[in-house]
Chain A
Amino acid sequence: MTADQHRDPVISLRSVTAELGSRPVLRGIDLTVRRGEVVALLGANGSGKSTAVRTVIGQVPVTGGEVELFGTPRRRFRDWARVGYVPQRTTAAGGVPATVTEVVSSGRLSRARFGVLRRADREAVRHALELVGLADRAKDSVDALSGGQHQRVLIARALASAPELLIMDEPMAGVDLASQEVLAATLREQVAAGTSVLLVLHELGPLEPLIDRAVVLRDGCVLHDGPPPRAVGQHALPGHDHVHPHAAHDAEPIRTGLLS
């Protein structure tokens, strides 16, 4: 992967720390996603992977370190149309009925001036729905969809602004096998077109062939950063120290430093 080293980073986290309540969740993590790269962020529940992603989008404030998007400090970053985000949710529905098109149109707001959607915007929304294979459900209420279709709606919403960077938090959670295949195919097309991707995953699953690099978190520290850990099965990753015998060196000093 030496060719990757000199490509511009689209996401860059340097010694980022963050707290939820007063509990430290990130204890100084480094994470870089370069242009065109597909990076999986792995780890057990509570390891801080979702929090790490939320510091990137600004939903969780950082208490230390730097977060940059496309080379701009996140606080000054305004070009949100370049970022597509799929939050960790099991449903696309809110408290009021909404059609698939209405939900996906929200994703176009970053390109629409004053929230006015023009013909090109409607076209983009329709195209995003085609990408996830839901064009025929455009006028249906999201309440009428299956779990996997909800996830596809959320991904179409992220794709509506034609982003250069996709950030997805557990896009495969609660998704049936058929939808998983559709999602993997959609993602493959995006990656082939040059989109960079940061994925939070619980297990690699059908996305495994797409992934260039895996970053494994444990207790808010980076445990492994390199090729996806192929040896492990679906009971994957963290906790299984024997897979990454070298990692303890990296992790220990950071943790003891903060706890003492």
Chain B
Amino acid sequence: MNLDILDYAFMQRALLAAVLVGITAPAVGIYLVQRRQALLGDGIGHVAMTGVGLGFLLSWSPVWMATAVSVLGAVLMELIRWYGRTRGDLALAMLFYGGMAGGVMFINLAPGGSNANLTSYLFGSLSTVSEEDVTAICLLAAFVVLVTVGLRRQLFAVSQDEEFARVTGLPVRVLNLLTAVTAAVTVTVAMRVVGLLLVSALMVVPVAAAQQLSRSFAATFAISVAIGVSVAVGGTVTSYYQDVPPGATIVLLTIGAFVLLTVAAAPLARRRTRAASRAAAQEAADPAECVIPDGRPPAGKAGV
């Protein structure tokens, strides 16, 4: 394989960023999917736009500014979830669209700024990943990995069943906040490569794809990170050779992986269903239980 792709410094930076995004996005995403907040990343992405706009307006690093604002937004969302139980969805909607509008407003207020500056943040762009962006991305990614791997048992418990986690003495609110903050940080890690509007896809779709194959949380985690890294690197390389936008390429590759694995897993799921109903039939002692599995075999078709 021709490796001239590595001769360019900007491509080295882009590939490093892609690998980190491929690891961090599914690593956080798995907890969001587990707590059925798959679209949280999307919301944070909208809020981060205000940070990017502010960065331009104040001539500060848009990456760090977006991190600050999206962390703030994530904390706000978590607070709304605690206190504004009744119409939380409306409050969140206002936060999302307010964030987006704020971004557009600030960037147009910035001297010489226009929506064009925003485009590379919205859809990702490899050539513009700067040296200092890479430093920021490395630091933030290290934080994300530390949290998602180091606290995996605690985060698993809280995301699986919050009410139960409280009774194990875990600091549920702190862990919820930490999840939201980590998701916010991940959004800004992924922002330069995938873009704010597509970042949520890389958090959620690899997890959905991995679920087709796995039975355990640990395996789902490992497979989704593997998928994330593969598609992020694959998309980056493709966009270099074919001159297509990296964010869109990565997301389409991820969805491709999902479809592929779903098709590949259908026979597997069917075999498992059969094994499970066999086990159930063996276990059930009273006739009332035995009759039901016997009536079921045609359900083998309902694989996925």
Binding site for B on A (CB under 8 A): 21, 54, 57-59, 78, 80-81, 83-85, 87, 89, 94-99, 102-103, 105-107, 109-110, 112, 115, 117, 137, 139-141, 143-144, 146, 157-158, 161, 167, 176-178
Contact = CB atoms under 8 A, between A and B. Distances in A.
Interface of B: 30, 33-36, 38, 85-86, 151-154, 156-157, 159-161, 163-170, 207, 211, 214-220, 272, 276, 279-280, 284-286, 288-289
Nearest to A133: B283
Shortest beta-carbon contacts, A-B, top 10: A80-B169, A141-B215, A85-B167, A106-B157, A115-B153, A110-B168, A96-B34, A98-B217, A94-B160, A99-B216
Contact of B220 (A54, A81, A97, A110): A97
Q: Which of B164, B166, B207, B272 has the most CB of A within 10 A?
A: B164
Nearest to B85: A21
Contacts of A94: 34-36, 159-161
Q: Which of A84, A102, A117, A143 has the most CB of B within 10 A?
A: A102
A89 B215 contact: no
Given A87-B163, A146-B280, A178-B284, A96 B217 contact: yes
Contacts of A137: 279
B271 to A, nearest CB: 12
Contacts of B154: 109, 115
A190 B161 CA distance: 24
Contacts of A57: 163, 166-167
B216 A87 contact: no
A89 B85 CA distance: 20
Nearest to B215: A141
B217 A59 contact: no
B33 A144 contact: no
A2 B23 CA distance: 62
Given A96-B207, A177-B288, A102 B34 contact: no
Nearest to B160: A94
Contacts of A84: 167
Contacts of A81: 169
Nearest to B169: A80
Contact of A144 (B38, B220, B272): B272
Contacts of A78: 169
Given A21-B86, A109-B154, 8 more contacts: A89-B161, A95-B34, A95-B36, A96-B34, A96-B211, A97-B211, A110-B169, A178-B286
Q: Which of A105, A115, A139 has the most CB of B within 10 A?
A: A115
A124 B220 CA distance: 25
Contacts of A177: 286, 288
A85 to B, nearest CB: 4
Contacts of A161: 168
A140 B277 CA distance: 13
Nearest to A54: B163
Contacts of B280: 146
Contacts of A54: 163
B217 A106 contact: no
Contacts of B157: 106, 109
B154 to A, nearest CB: 5
A102 B221 CA distance: 13
Q: Which of B85, B217, B220 has the most CB of A within 10 A?
A: B217
Contacts of B159: 94-95
Nearest to A169: B163
B35 A98 contact: no
A178 B285 contact: yes
A117 B288 contact: no
A38 B105 CA distance: 63
Contacts of B288: 176-177
A96 B169 contact: no
A110 B172 CA distance: 13
Given A95-B34, A95-B35, A178-B285, A58 B166 contact: yes
A76 B163 CA distance: 18
B163 A59 contact: yes
Contacts of B86: 21
Contacts of A143: 215
A87 B164 CA distance: 7
Contact of A106 (B36, B164, B214): B164
A40 to B, nearest CB: 20
Nearest to A103: B160
A80 B161 CA distance: 16
A162 B56 CA distance: 57
A143 B215 CA distance: 8
B289 A96 contact: no
A121 to B, nearest CB: 10
Nearest to B272: A144
A95 B33 contact: yes
A157 B164 contact: yes
A105 B151 CA distance: 14
Given A102-B218, A141-B215, A176 B289 contact: yes
